[in-house]
Amino acid sequence: MSLAIHALQQSFASCFGQRATYHVRAPGRVNLIGEHTDYNDGFVLPCAIDFSTHVLGRINGSNRIRVVAADYHQQWDDILLDDAITHHGEYSWANYVRGVVLMLQSQGAALVGCDLLISGNIPKGAGLSSSASLEVALGLMLSTIAGCALSRLQLAKAGQQAENRFVGCNSGIMDQLISAQGQPHHALLIDCRSLSATPVAFPREWALVIINSNVQRGLVGSEYNARRAQCEAGAAHYGVGALRDLTPEDIGDIAARLDDVTARRVRHVVTENCRTLQAAKALAHGDMATMSQLMAQSHASMRDDFAITVPPVDYLVTLVDSIVGSQGGVRMTGGGFGGCVVALMPVALITEVKSQIATNYPKHSGLTADVFVCQPAAGAEVVAQP
């Protein structure tokens, strides 16, 4: 799924009459473990992947930002910098652009008129953070063109604010932060309270495999925001600022203290934080047996306590686990309700996993799955500028 940048330059010239002079990219991500813990001030263990959003740009000398989405049949948006920015009534992708513009302006960035073309190879709606990648890439492009240097943390925060305040999804900071700060051959253990990020080397002999169930998901739906509200209710019950502040010992027999739904949500987050810290140690030591166990526990918790998996995804996890066993780990990754499975395994097992998925998954689900073998990749970067 490599992108032909030369073809994108030709498309840019066709749309705007001149070649682009700026080029930035920002990667998607896969989360190895630590799901729905980020907005609870907890811990996550993601890595950036070698699938990215690319933005080509050129200053146009006006007070307008003109944007073409190359992957959506050349759809256009036109943003007047001097006007109040409102939602686009037709194109959902345009609201991510408008949200980033608005958040950068609110931070005092003096943006300039420019022409932009956006394209990427991150599967949309698969839980690999194509939206965060877009936000970070846009933030990097717009700030670079305007000559206002922003730190990678500032870019991540602007992207998260665009998603929370403008798009309407109450996501945490993980997706934007790993897209901005990812490191090659490493995962990052991110403390979502302090926003510190500790690199954890990814063993070179392990394969990182992403399986797209092709069950489409919508993060801006009510279910995601409902989970956040349930977690906040649980934290309020215990009188803590966030579920990050609780241990398994603190919650004890939680079912006796909270209604069933809230209790299960709290239990997932509290135990998932523990698993994530343990997984960072296992990854650093190349301990696949422990990683396998922790990923299995994480998936069960997402299925039973957080209720964010769906039957086709559960089937893929069971199928892959039957092949890799303790030699690998597998779990759903992302916000839930469809999307992707992440698996770690020896390279020698990849062919068998692909074969079994191709044979059995369509029979079970009526869908075909896409399997990607990835590498932990670098975060956002300016590829070219004048």
- Tell me, letter by letter, the H, E, C secondary structure of the chain: CCCCHHHHHHHHHHHHCCCCCEEEEEEEEEECCCCCCHHHCCEECEEEEEEEEEEEEEECCCCEEEEEECCCCCEEEEEECCCCCCCCCCCHHHHHHHHHHHHHHHCCCCCCCEEEEEEECCCCCCCCCHHHHHHHHHHHHHHHHHCCCCCHHHHHHHHHHHHHHHHCCCCCCHHHHHHHHCCCCEEEEEECCCCCEEEEECCCCEEEEEEECCCCCCCCCHHHHHHHHHHHHHHHHHCCCCHHHCCHHHHCCHHHCCCHHHHHHHHHHHHHHHHHHHHHHHHHCCCHHHHHHHHHHHHHHHHHCCCCCCHHHHHHHHHHHHHHHHHCEEEEECCCCCCEEEEEEEHHHHHHHHHHHHHHHHHHHCCCCEEEEECECCCCEEEECC
Which pTM was predicted?
0.92
- Give mean pLDDT, residues 140-168: 95
Residue 216 has a pLDDT of 77
Instruction: Point out the least confidently predicted range of 7-16, 37-46, 205-214, 332-341.
Output: 332-341
pLDDT tens digits for range 72-123: 989 999 999 998 999 998 999 999 999 999 999 999 999 999 999 999 999 8
| pLDDT over 70 percentage in the chain | 98
Pick 129 or 102 by higher pLDDT: 102
Residue 1 has a pLDDT of 41
Residue 203 has a pLDDT of 95
Q: Which of 38, 77, 175, 305 is catalytic?
A: 175
According to DSSP, the β-strands at 114-120 and 64-69 are parallel
41 catalytic residue (yes or no): no
The CA distance from 13 to 16, in Å, is 5
Q: Write down the domain spans for the chain.
A: 5-198+377-384, 202-374
Instruction: Point out the least confidently predicted range of 25-34, 68-77, 217-226, 253-262.
Output: 217-226
pLDDT tens digits for range 266-317: 999 999 999 999 999 999 999 999 999 999 999 999 999 999 999 999 999 9
Cα separations (Å) of 334 from 32, 217, 317, 330?
Answer: 9, 10, 14, 13
- Give mean pLDDT, residues 236-261: 94
- Provide the Cα torsion 104, 106, 109, 114; round to 10°: 50
- Give mean pLDDT, residues 153-182: 93
Pair 217, 335: CB distance under 8 Å:
yes
Pair 333, 340: CB distance under 8 Å:
yes
Residue 13 has a pLDDT of 97
pLDDT tens digits for range 184-228: 999 999 999 999 999 999 999 999 999 999 997 655 467 888 999
Residue 2 has a pLDDT of 53
The CA distance from 183 to 199, in Å, is 8
Residue 220 has a pLDDT of 42
* Architecture, CATH, for domain 5-198+377-384: 2-Layer Sandwich (3.30)
Residue 221 has a pLDDT of 61
Residue 218 has a pLDDT of 55
Quote the CATH superfamily of domain 202-374. GHMP kinase, C-terminal domain (3.30.70.890)
